[in-house]
Structure 1
């Protein structure tokens, strides 16, 4: 049995009441509006001599820490933050419902994009950069403080560089920021990006090959109009689900990153979306940092800078005030981890977009026993690992088998709570300091097994004494998704050179 003591997410009684009210509004068909909050800001650390960055508010203590790290190991890092439903104990209680709604729309969109954007079209127009055999590093933090179940990376963009908090998303490719003039935008923490204030900004023209990597804004359904290929801009439209989308101009800009061996590096000509119309549940973020497999993603465009085909991140607990790291390039400490395990990415298929990182899930174990789930149920829609989806999802028949397995194996000393909103099963664990739950493991086709601690698949709501399984079904797409909640306190490696995913248990706040 797995121990469910000291779980990371705590909820107030008011939060649960708000959760029930919000659920009723969802059933009535209402839409949530983006909420914003405040939280600690961390970003790419720059050396003290960079006065432009110092003026933008960079933390001197973190600069010193990063310089010390640079003297020890060469790599490129970005800082991450995690975001959840809203600030404080009350708001954090809303993130389950808010995230589940956003996840549902996102999953439907993923299914549509997989069919609409074949991998061959995504590969077109890739432009490799000169390798420097460096690594890039940034901090990642929980987004609970600003209103979401995702994680944030602080990135410096433009000339002079300015800091923007961007959602870290391995399930999409396009990097984008809300841009002035902001014709229809959600609320974000801090000012939007102003192209007129940057000396390095320039539009991608409609004749540029990179323009073919993005979809034109609706209502265009055929080929985009391009009267002057060398001067007309390249408008784009990128969607995530229901009302989550961004529309603007595809552009090129300088991104300033931190190299652990030689200070900072300004990378010119990084393609990103300058979004003038943006809608959805982005909760205070300035935009999104795409880390998918396509050529427009941040990971792909900077591959030559960090001199490799790998990146890794370590996600702190939801609601944690600590930050961790995303590392572009191989991390020696992770590679030396005694519990580092690998599983192969699934081979690409003709109808699968390059964006997603597919795995070959074979079976699900609860309490050490493989569940009776037909293999075609797990293979039909595929399985992806995704930092931009909060909870974990399985096709409805598989989810029902997982749900029933936990109900059958749970100790009768924890009364079942029927009819709890969104998640099921839920239990009354009032007064229990340590809660024992059945173990959960995922087994892949190559024999690799990912065993999770209880806090990665059960959410405990305090002080109400309610505990719920953080897994849901995907009735429409049939896609299985390993979300960021299950990835907490694992160092996860995307090794594209050897076509494999690595994972090792680690206290991410110490990375």
Structure 2
């Protein structure tokens, strides 16, 4: 995807598995997907992941940033021989898919040649296929598993599932780790109407059976844990496994049992500058493929009003509210700003607190540099948006901007979410990284 600069990126691939449905009648691609023969092994790897079963993790460096690019991407190697693809890491959806090189495909521009599909096609009766569809789904083509994913930003992917080898580099050694997994061959892509950078596909990191981590952990190869660390300087890393952090130094909160399909903690209360805003029982989703954070209308108004009121109290009135094409709520200074460090002292943090059944509440604090951006015009803008206007209802989404310089951990094995402040510009060097 050409690293095209973006302004307002509304819900980049957000909470995507909400809209997964069985694909409509589509042409059978068995003939196209089966052309050519490929070896089922990669180097010395078999059809399962090659790594130590205890104390092993996979670390993938990330490129990109919240602004001006508007997204992060991981380089994932797929196929035999392995070829690189830039994928959007998405904790809001399950299925990993690549734009596919088949006759008649309708795709968007990609940074690499489109994926030549494996001939190993997933059939409609496969349990992974069933996990992508709700209720009793019909197999229009029993010999292959069709899928359709629709995203809240207006983008979508239609295709069929295949099995192919994905390759990673081990965190604990220089060995190449390979696994054969199910992924989507996307032959009909609808781009987002927003100026979202084009990528080769999506890396599905959700809780469902088809996600990469779920497929690896179901074989006992890695712990069912993933996490990411996004740097305010750009870049960061993504990891699978549980040996990169000291659990006792992480702030943990249980995942909601009422919202099992997404990374949703128990309901939260919104604080600003350490004080209650009156906004309680907020339903939250953590979504790594959403650029910005989204609050429902009442919570958004409560936060934006308090931020504005704090600025109005400043002596000398150094900020003036202004219209900016990039984001809805922005302020200009006496001269253009170049970075957040120039303005962060004028803004207060907000926080979300979770009642996890303990005497002390778990708190997710968001400092100014994790909810503000400097626009191309040199204004400071709030990167928290009104999610109700984006048809999210009462759901509040914690996006990349508010997860910067935090190690965020999704522990599916123990059904909890965790975080700790970190310098995410450096790859982890030891298990005590979160010390």
Q: TM-score, normalised by structure 2?
A: 0.79
Report if aligned partners of 1:215, 1:237 keep a CA contact under 8 Å in 2: no
What is the CA-CA distance between 1:207 and the residue it aligns to? 2.9
Report the 3-state secondary structure (helix = DSSP H, G, I; strand = E; otherwise coil) of the residue aligned with 1:509: coil
Report the 3-state secondary structure (helix = DSSP H, G, I; strand = E; otherwise coil) of the residue aligned with 1:455: helix
Report if aligned partners of 1:430, 1:466 keep a CA contact under 8 Å in 2: no
Report the 3-state secondary structure (helix = DSSP H, G, I; strand = E; otherwise coil) of the residue aligned with 2:425: helix
Find the counterpart in structure 2 of residue 246 from structure 1: 157
Report if aligned partners of 2:231, 2:424 keep a CA contact under 8 Å in 1: yes
What is the CA-CA distance between 1:206 and the residue it aligns to? 2.1
Separation of aligned partners in 2, 1:448 and 1:331: 23
Find the counterpart in structure 1 of residue 306 from structure 2: 405
Report the 3-state secondary structure (helix = DSSP H, G, I; strand = E; otherwise coil) of the residue aligned with 1:399: helix
Mark the runs of 5 or more structure 1 residues left unpaired by the alignment. Answer: 1-35, 39-85, 118-127
CA spacing shift, 1:331–1:297, aligned 2, 3 Å = same
What is the CA-CA distance between 1:248 and the residue it aligns to? 1.3
Summarize deviations over 1:319-340 as a string: whole Å, max 9, x none.
Answer: x3xx4322211134x31785x3
| Partner of residue 259 from structure 1, selected from 170, 173, 182 | 170
More helix by share: 1
Q: TM-score, normalised by structure 1?
A: 0.68
Find the counterpart in structure 1 of residue 64 from structure 2: 142
Report if aligned partners of 2:273, 2:349 keep a CA contact under 8 Å in 1: yes
Does residue 392 (structure 1) correspond to residue 310 (structure 2)? The answer is no
Separation of aligned partners in 1, 2:153 and 2:230: 27
Summarize deviations over 1:114-170 as a string: whole Å, max 9, x none.
Answer: xx79xxxxxxxxxx989822222211121579x842211111111111111110000
CA spacing shift, 1:191–1:360, aligned 2, 3 Å = same
Report the 3-state secondary structure (helix = DSSP H, G, I; strand = E; otherwise coil) of the residue aligned with 1:358: coil
Find the counterpart in structure 2 of residue 209 from structure 1: 127
Report if aligned partners of 1:365, 1:442 keep a CA contact under 8 Å in 2: yes
Report if aligned partners of 1:142, 1:316 keep a CA contact under 8 Å in 2: no
Report the 3-state secondary structure (helix = DSSP H, G, I; strand = E; otherwise coil) of the residue aligned with 1:400: helix
Aligned pairs for 1:275-424 (under 5 A) are 275-281=186-192, 283-303=197-217, 304=219, 306-317=221-232, 320=234, 323-332=235-244, 334-335=245-246, 338=249, 340-347=250-257, 349=258, 352=259, 354=261, 356-373=262-279, 375-376=280-281, 378=282, 382-410=283-311, 411-412=313-314, 413-421=317-325, 423-424=327-328
Report if aligned partners of 2:167, 2:179 keep a CA contact under 8 Å in 1: yes
Find the counterpart in structure 2 of residue 224 from structure 1: 139
| Partner of residue 172 from structure 1, selected from 83, 88, 93 | 93
Report if aligned partners of 2:76, 2:166 keep a CA contact under 8 Å in 1: yes
Report if aligned partners of 2:270, 2:276 keep a CA contact under 8 Å in 1: yes
Report the 3-state secondary structure (helix = DSSP H, G, I; strand = E; otherwise coil) of the residue aligned with 2:74: strand
Does residue 237 (structure 1) correspond to residue 237 (structure 2)? The answer is no
CA spacing shift, 1:137–1:106, aligned 2, 3 Å = closer
Separation of aligned partners in 2, 1:112 and 1:254: 27
CA RMSD of aligned residues (A): 2.8
What is the CA-CA distance between 1:438 and the residue it aligns to? 1.6
Alignment coverage as a number of residue pairs:
377
What is the CA-CA distance between 1:353 and the residue it aligns to? 5.1
Report the 3-state secondary structure (helix = DSSP H, G, I; strand = E; otherwise coil) of the residue aligned with 1:192: coil
